Structure 1
């Protein structure tokens, strides 16, 4: 019996994966992380959080070591972060999804607070689906370069997924409506220069049943988006969002400083 309730798959248009030129640009990922040091004083100006817990899920074939820099930054902004604690992410093997669900339950119970879920690439799929199944325990979802809106062939990693997990990605994606947004505030951080995931596959369409959804564009590689200072700022800003009857949810606002607008491109410009 699957952990997540099966939903009819939504039809997806043909969406080719990024070309070789963008794939080659993935080599810039180390420089993105290197930009953290000179931008650290600016990153420390992000608003302080309220101490609620945050679980960060790694990408395909990656583990908690890859999300450690992001988690340490969020710790510095007054959040209680934790990794997923299951070694390398090799797909939803037997027991993996059950353990993720149990971790969410235990984290919420121990803290007495709702938990925010942050997921990098495939880790974002876990975050979104957990939030759909257990929205009463989830405060918000933030994904980084997560391919939820396109067919599995819109990424350059689907064959790696099938090899690592031993499962048919086409068969698995048919079981869930991945494009459907969770019923909690949900942010998709994406990059048009992503060399692994077609960027349109990370665009959350407007949802009438959940108006608290948004897309934030950054300039990043796929392998570096979780280490990118602009992505870190966006994550910290979204985690700080308080929502309720007296504090309505507000979408992300681009910095007003002219030079910083280049870091967060205009999301309303043409997407074709």
Structure 2
């Protein structure tokens, strides 16, 4: 949802209407869990490992609240991105992310978790500043294939004010950042084509399947447990 893919990229299809409709209930659960959900018990331990969580399109740090609470309870030092609601990519977005990371970095690189569009932003930041990034974890992020292989691109263009083929930053989405990169994807995703979030060989280092909805990545206990385990590796 940031830039077009080369013609050699596969033409994945957006999820079917039936899957999209199921995201409504998942959205309601996510909103409740983000505000009121308790920390999910995690076996992975963070030992002060710094993490920034990037929200998805039209989401804010509130949406990732349960994920961050769970990570912090397990000893991670997780933070929201602090840039307000994610209304789409802007020309200065990566510079603003850089300022945020600079204020938190201290000693050693930081891990980046990005949900949906947030994962694309995290990958692009890691391409520019790999020395600041320990690893990138994407959650249902469409970095592979056709940028219209999702059910959000029309809304994205209307709100962000630019075509998915003409973003305000230079990027080739499918190119892997030069840091460890883990891609979570789900066959039950009703927003993003599962193939687009999984990617082809070489587009991420590891691909992990979850059986969840798109809105579940930051709220369901099983997803949060898997994310924490990936961070701790």
Name the structure 2 match of 1:269.
none
Tell me how far apart the structure 2 counterparts of residues 223 and 154 of structure 1 sit (CA, whole Å).
17
One of 6, 10, 14 as aligned partner of 1:13: 10
* Partner SS state of residue 155, structure 2: helix
Match status 1:132 vs 2:127: yes
Name the structure 2 match of 1:163.
158
Q: Rg bigger for which structure?
A: 1
Tell me how far apart the structure 2 counterparts of residues 53 and 9 of structure 1 sit (CA, whole Å).
35
Name the structure 2 match of 1:67.
64
Tell me how far apart the structure 2 counterparts of residues 73 and 230 of structure 1 sit (CA, whole Å).
12
Match status 1:205 vs 2:200: yes
* Partner SS state of residue 153, structure 1: coil
Does the CA contact (< 8 Å) of 2:42 and 2:228 recur in 1? no
* Partner SS state of residue 102, structure 2: helix
Tell me how far apart the structure 2 counterparts of residues 130 and 31 of structure 1 sit (CA, whole Å).
30
Does the CA contact (< 8 Å) of 1:204 and 1:213 recur in 2? no
Of 142-151 and 20-29, more deviation after overlay is shown by 20-29
Give the aligned CA root-mean-square deviation in angstroms: 2.7
Match status 1:153 vs 2:143: no
Q: 1:90 to 1:34 in 2, by over 3 A?
A: closer
Q: 1:161 to 1:217 in 2, by over 3 A?
A: same
Tell me how far apart the structure 2 counterparts of residues 145 and 45 of structure 1 sit (CA, whole Å).
21
Kindly provide the CA deviation profile for residues 216-239 of structure 1, in whole angstroms up to 9, marking residues without a partner as x: 111111122211212111111111
Name the structure 2 match of 1:226.
218
Name the structure 1 match of 2:188.
193
Tell me how far apart the structure 1 counterparts of residues 124 and 7 of structure 2 sit (CA, whole Å).
15
Kindly provide the CA deviation profile for residues 112-162 of structure 1, in whole angstroms up to 9, marking residues without a partner as x: 121000000000001111111111111111111100002111011001111
Does the CA contact (< 8 Å) of 2:58 and 2:87 recur in 1? yes
Does the CA contact (< 8 Å) of 1:33 and 1:229 recur in 2? no
Does the CA contact (< 8 Å) of 1:59 and 1:120 recur in 2? yes
Q: Within 5 Å, which residues of 2 pair with 1:76-115? A: 76-108=73-105, 111-115=106-110
CA displacement at 1:14 relative to structure 2 = 1.6
Kindly provide the CA deviation profile for residues 53-86 of structure 1, in whole angstroms up to 9, marking residues without a partner as x: 1000000011010011111111011111111111
CA displacement at 1:176 relative to structure 2 = 1.8
Name structure 2 gaps, 5 residues minimum.
Answer: none
CA displacement at 1:205 relative to structure 2 = 2.6
CA displacement at 1:168 relative to structure 2 = 1.3
Q: 1:14 to 1:195 in 2, by over 3 A?
A: same
CA displacement at 1:187 relative to structure 2 = 0.8
Kindly provide the CA deviation profile for residues 226-269 of structure 1, in whole angstroms up to 9, marking residues without a partner as x: 1121211111111111xxxxxxxxxxxxxxxxxxxxxxxxxxxx
Tell me how far apart the structure 1 counterparts of residues 108 and 161 of structure 2 sit (CA, whole Å).
36
How many residue pairs get matched? 228
Match status 1:23 vs 2:53: no
Does the CA contact (< 8 Å) of 1:129 and 1:182 recur in 2? yes
CA displacement at 1:167 relative to structure 2 = 1.0
Tell me how far apart the structure 2 counterparts of residues 223 and 45 of structure 1 sit (CA, whole Å).
20
Match status 1:117 vs 2:112: yes
TM (normalized to structure 2)? 0.88
TM (normalized to structure 1)? 0.76
* Partner SS state of residue 189, structure 1: strand
Q: 1:91 to 1:186 in 2, by over 3 A?
A: same
